[in-house]
Amino acid sequence: MEPAERSRVPRIDPYGFERPEDFDAAAYEEFLSGYLVTLTRRAVKWSRLLQGGGVPRGRAVKRYVRKGVPLEHRARVWMALSGAQAQMDQNPGYYHRLLQGERNPRLEDAIRTDLNRTFPDNVKFRTTTEPCLQKTLHNVLLAYGHHNQAVGYCQGMNFIAGYLILITNNEEESFWLLDALVGRILPDYYTPAMLGLKTDQEVLGELVRAKLPAVGALMEQLGVLWTLVVSRWFICLFVDVLPVETVLRIWDCLFNEGSKIIFRVALTLIKQHQEFILEATSIPDICDKFKQITKGSFVMECHTFMQKIFSEPGSLSMATVAKLRESCRARLLAQG
C-alpha cells in the first residue's frame, strides 16, 4: 500500500479532511483518473442545464442528480431541490433574528460540548485555523435549536451541519438545508424520543427480511438489534461512515428523492457483502462486519456505487416505505 505522502494524492482532501494513515493512495489514484473524466463531462452538461438561472425539475434532472452534481453547483442545486431556497426567500432576515433571540444556556452548552468532537481530522474545524468553522457550526446549530424547539440540539446534527457548511460556505444556506433535512426529509429522527429514527431502523430490518432473507434470519438467530449495527448510518446520514465523495453523492439524491435513498444505500451495502456478513457467529462479530463493509474500494468508487444503489435493491417506492413505516411505528408505540 503506497503511503499518501509518496503519491500524488495530497495529504488533505479538497474538503479539508486529513487522509487516514491506512489510506490506499494507489487505489484512489486509479479510481480518480477515471472519475475525473466523468466529472468533467458531467460539469459541462450541468452548466448547460443551469444556463437559464433556475434549477429545473423533472425526469432529466433526476437522472442528472443520480449521476452526481458537480461541486461548483452543489449548494445551488441542493438549495433548489430541497425547498430550502424557497424557505429562505420567504423568510428574509429570519436566520439572523434567531441568532439574536433570547439565550438558552442549556442549548448552548450542549452544542459547545460537541464542537471539538466535530471532525477533529478536518483542518477547517481546528481552532488554530483562521477562520475556524467551529464558530459557523455553533451559529447554525444554535439558530436551528431556537427555530425547532421540539428538537433543540441532538448529537449527529453537528456532523450533518458540518458537511453542509463545507459545501455551501454559507451559514444561512446551511441552516435552511439543515431545516430541510431535520424538519422534512427525516421527520422525528432527532426529537428526544427519536421515534422516526427507530422506525426507519425497523423498516430496514423488514426490507432485509424480504430482500435478503438469509441476513435477516441470521440477525434474528443471533438476537442482534438493527440499532446496534446501523444507527450511525441513519443518524449521521453516512457522514464519518462512508468516504466524503460517496456521502455527497448520496446526499445529492437524498435532497431530490427523499429518505428512501438511505434504505437503498443500506440494502446495497448489505447485499454486496452478504456472504461476508453470513460468516458471523456472534454479536461482536456481526458488529465488526458491519463496520468493515463501509470500507474499501466498493464504497470509494462512488460513481459505480451510486449506480448499484439504484439497481441492486430492486424496486423500492416511497409508498412501500410509507406502509412499512406505518406498521413499524405502530409496533414501537405498542411496545411503549
> What are the pLDDT digits (tens) for 225-243?
999 999 999 999 999 999 9
CATH number of 195-335: 1.10.472.80
Map residue 127 onto helix, strand or coil.
Answer: coil
pLDDT reported for residue 8? 76
Angle at 203 between CA 78 and CA 178, to 5 degrees: 25
Contact 328, 199 (CB under 8 A): yes
CA distance to 17, 35, 113, 205, 239, per residue, from 70 (Å): 19, 12, 34, 34, 19
Q: What is the pLDDT of residues 120-177, one digit of tens each?
A: 999 999 988 888 999 999 999 999 999 999 999 998 999 999 999 999 999 999 999 9
Amino acid symbol at 176: W
Do residues 79 and 156 lie in contact, with contact meaning Cβ atoms separated by under 8 Å?
no
Cα separation of 236 and 262, whole Å?
11
The tally of CA atoms less than 13 A away on the side-chain side of residue 3 is 3
Task: Decide which of 1.10.8.270, 1.20.1420.20, 3.30.70.330, 3.40.50.720 is the CATH code for 71-185.
Answer: 1.10.8.270
Among candidate residues 169, 125, 138, 114, the one with its CA nearest the CA of residue 12: 125
Residue ranges of domains in the chain: 71-185, 195-335
Evaluate whether 199 touches 167 at the Cβ level (below 8 Å).
Answer: no
Q: Quick check: 157 and 116 in contact, CB under 8 A?
A: no
Mean pLDDT per block of 10 residues along the chain (336 residues) reads 57 92 89 91 92 84 94 95 97 96 92 94 92 95 96 94 97 98 92 94 97 97 94 96 97 96 98 97 96 95 96 92 96 90
Contact 134, 109 (CB under 8 A): no
Inter-residue contact 254 to 262 (CB < 8 Å): yes
The pLDDT score that the predictor gives to residue 90 is: 98
- C-alpha angle 63-67-72 in degrees, rounded to nearest 5: 110
Q: 234 and 242 in contact (C-beta within 8 Å)?
A: no
In this prediction the pTM is 0.95
Q: Tell me, what's the pLDDT at 232?
A: 94
Quote the CA–CA distance of 124 and 131 in Å, as a whole number.
8
Residue for grid cell 451510486: 306
pLDDT for the residue 7: 60
Phi, psi of 241 (to 5 degrees): -115, -50
